[in-house]
A = this chain, B = another copy of it.
């Protein structure tokens, strides 16, 4: 676009690189940044750089942290016999939000995806297996997404973990709470039916 100046075009491209933001959305955001007070824009830029400088992966669970080990791994009140394996740090946030899970986590930072050329060696699988070498861990919960990649990754990891004598479980499939039977897809409904429990 010749009528957009180069620094603006550059900013639009930076936003457009993010998943879930299209070209039009990126332009809308870039114009908003331009309309900000200068100090506010500088704070935004600083937040990006600082997040990168200060945050790294926890040496134990690979979740994002400012410390060497993350707050969850260091918490003596957490149940160290259970590890919940998730795809991303966002999933940890989701579980913590429920306030029901008291065990530890392990963040893979991705899922096995042959179509995208992502193999187990690009994920933090060896780090997970290393954690299971001690006798402390009794159960590993596969909490990857209920997608093809999430399923494949869970099955792959379960095959590696079972020989170590650690119980491997998977999140339950079924109806989302508050949903409407009419709008639930066939596979979910089938899973809800076959996984039914006694009242």
Report whether A47 and B2 are in contact in the complex, using a CB–CB cutoff of 8 Å.
no
Q: B-facing mask of A12-53, CB < 8 A → 1, else 0?
A: 011001111100010111111111101011111111111111
Is A5 a contact of B64 with CB atoms below 8 Å? yes
* Pairwise interchain contact B19-A34, C-beta atoms closer than 8 A: no
A10 part of interface (Cβ distance < 8 Å): yes
When C-beta atoms are compared, the residue in chain B nearest to A37 turns out to be B52
How many of these chains are in the complex? 2
Cβ of A98 to closest chain B Cβ, rounded Å = 12
A interface, size bucket: 35 or more
- The reply to whether B42 and A49 form a contact with Cβ atoms under 8 Å apart is yes
| In the assembled complex, A196 has its CB within 8 A of some CB on chain B | no
In this complex, which of A31, A34, A36, A45 has the most chain B Cβ atoms within 10 angstroms of its Cβ? Answer: A45
Does A65 interact with chain B (Cβ within 8 Å)? yes
Stretch with Cβ within 8 A of B (4 or more), from A84-92, A169-177, A187-195: A84-92
Select one of B32, B46, B71, B96 contacting A19, CB under 8 A: B32
Q: Is A11 an interface residue (CB 8 A)?
A: yes
* A133: chain B residues within 8 A (beta carbon): none
Q: Is A93 an interface residue (CB 8 A)?
A: yes
* Residue from the list B28, B43, B92 in contact with A3, Cβ < 8 A: B92
A18-B32, A29-B18, A47-B14 known; A8-B64 Cβ under 8 A: yes
Asked whether A50 lies within 8 Å of B10 as measured between CB atoms, the reply is: yes
- Which of A's residues lie within 8 Å of B, judged by CB? 1-8, 10-11, 13-14, 17-21, 25, 27-36, 38, 40-55, 64-66, 71-72, 88-90, 92-93, 96-97, 109
